[in-house]
């Protein structure tokens, strides 16, 4: 059993909890996720199973779409409602003002990472410093907001849908929207509805997973990459991990023989005429 599994994560469990449960249900130790969801969050969690783990790094680079509910007038140390309250105030912000800020929010900007996050700084995860009340300079990164839409407004909350680049923290995005509104804002709910080509409609609930589940093939999961069909002689060279001149302009390419996925090749030399194995898949995977 090799491939990709999309889970609709429920609230209150960690991404690691999901991985552990899937390992047990499928009888394998080789399961990995392609992007952590906090316990407060729900929705799309993409897992690699067995050889599917080999392509996790390719799937983490994709953009993601979220729906989030925001509490206005609330500031916490975690930037969401699970944290310690730092500030709470009554606010009266019109829907028109919120729409104005949403519509004018920068498409690209430098975003500060939350202190309660798993990002490593000097060998430790940021949340380890935060839990011990150790001050550390929070890193920032350039992110892109492909779209940002106001869905609804109700009393002291509003809902948004956002399509964002890899590495964007929605809690930080909500904080930054609040800064533009001139009020503190914190995340109340978060639902990831899409990651790359994987939609919430493709996702299974955790309780529905068993050994008979059909996985998304590695080839289908990487359908956005170029493909090259090779003859049997070249296929043997691929299986042995040989460097090859492949006729493609892409830096990454799927190599197939009779529509069986053999490997992923990537460019490596200066003149870009040769490609080397990036991931080679086992022969038993070819027969799936």
Tokens 């070819």 belong to residue: 286
Give me the catalytic one of 38, 51, 75, 80.
38
Closest to 30 in 3D by CA, of 52, 46, 15, 13: 52
Give the tokens for residue 184. 């503190």
Please, how many CA atoms are within 13 Å of residue 118, restricted to the half-sphere of its CB?
A: 8
H/E stretch holding 260: strand 260-267
Instruction: List Cα–Cα distances, 22 to 50, 59, 219, in angstroms.
Output: 12, 19, 22
142 included as an active-site residue: no
CA 4 – CA 54 distance, rounded (Å) = 10
**Residue 163, burial from CB neighbour count under 10 angstroms (0-12, 13-18, 19+):** middle
Residues 92 and 5: their CA atoms lie apart, in Å, by 44
Cα–Cα–Cα angle for 246, 249, 252, rounded to 5 degrees:
75
The residues assigned a catalytic role are 38
């Amino acid at each position: 059993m090799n491939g990709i599994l999309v889970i609709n994560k429920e609230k209150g469990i960690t991404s690691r909890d999901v991985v552990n449960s899937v390992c047990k249900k499928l009888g394998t130790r080789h399961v990995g996720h392609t992007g952590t969801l906090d316990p407060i969050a729900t929705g799309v969690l993409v897992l690699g199973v067995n050889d599917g783990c080999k392509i996790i790094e390719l799937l983490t680079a994709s953009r993601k779409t979220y729906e989030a509910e925001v509490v206005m007038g609330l500031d916490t140390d975690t930037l969401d409602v699970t944290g310690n309250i730092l500030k709470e105030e009554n606010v009266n912000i019109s829907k028109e003002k919120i729409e104005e800020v949403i519509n004018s929010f920068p498409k690209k900007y430098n975003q500060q990472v939350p202190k309660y996050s798993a990002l490593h700084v000097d060998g430790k995860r940021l949340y380890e410093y935060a839990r011990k009340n150790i001050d550390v300079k929070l890193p920032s990164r350039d992110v892109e907001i492909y779209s940002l839409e106001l869905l609804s407004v109700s009393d002291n909350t509003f809902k948004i849908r956002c399509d964002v680049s890899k590495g964007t923290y929605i809690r930080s995005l909500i904080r930054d929207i609040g800064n533009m509104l001139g009020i503190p804002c914190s995340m109340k709910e978060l639902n990831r509805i899409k990651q790359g080509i994987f939609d919430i409609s493709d996702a299974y609930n955790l309780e529905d997973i068993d050994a008979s589940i059909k996985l998304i093939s590695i080839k289908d999961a990487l359908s956005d990459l170029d493909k090259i069909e090779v003859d049997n002689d070249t296929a043997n060279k691929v299986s042995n991990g040989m460097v090859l001149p492949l006729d493609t302009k892409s830096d990454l390419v799927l190599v197939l023989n009779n529509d069986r996925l053999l490997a992923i090749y990537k460019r490596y030399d200066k003149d870009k005429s040769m490609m080397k194995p990036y991931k080679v898949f086992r022969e038993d995977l070819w027969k799936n």
